[in-house]
Amino acid sequence: MPKKTHGTTASGPPITDELVAELAGKAEAGYDVDELLRRRGGRPPIGSAAATVESVRLDPDLREALAQRAARDHETTSSVIRKALRRYLDVA
């Protein structure tokens, strides 16, 4: 008789009664909250607070100039845009 499953985890393995028991045991033993809250990977922060995403329309010529500048400077287009805005708005 096949093992009963309760769906799958986000990464794909089936959620079995054994996995539920294992995870429950870990939870009952307690977790290190500092370890759980420690930042893991992802995008590094670019300022002192959470960043927002703003969208802007670029005509093809401006988009091409931006791409060329980013390639020339070995930077992302986002970085070039941020630098240009800081310079234009006189913000450090």
User: How far is residue 50's CA from residue 38's CA, in Å, rounded to a whole number?
Assistant: 16
- Could you read off the pLDDT of 10-38 as tens digits, one per residue? 888 888 888 889 989 988 888 887 777 77
Q: How confident is the model at residue 40 (pLDDT cuts 50, 70, 90)?
A: low
Encode pLDDT of 42-55 as tens digits.
Answer: 777 777 777 888 99
The first and second tokens of residue 61, run together, are: 């010529």
- 60: its two tokens: 């093809």
Q: What is the pLDDT of residues 60-92, one digit of tens each?
A: 999 999 999 999 999 999 999 999 999 999 987
Note the pTM of the prediction, 2 decimals. Answer: 0.52
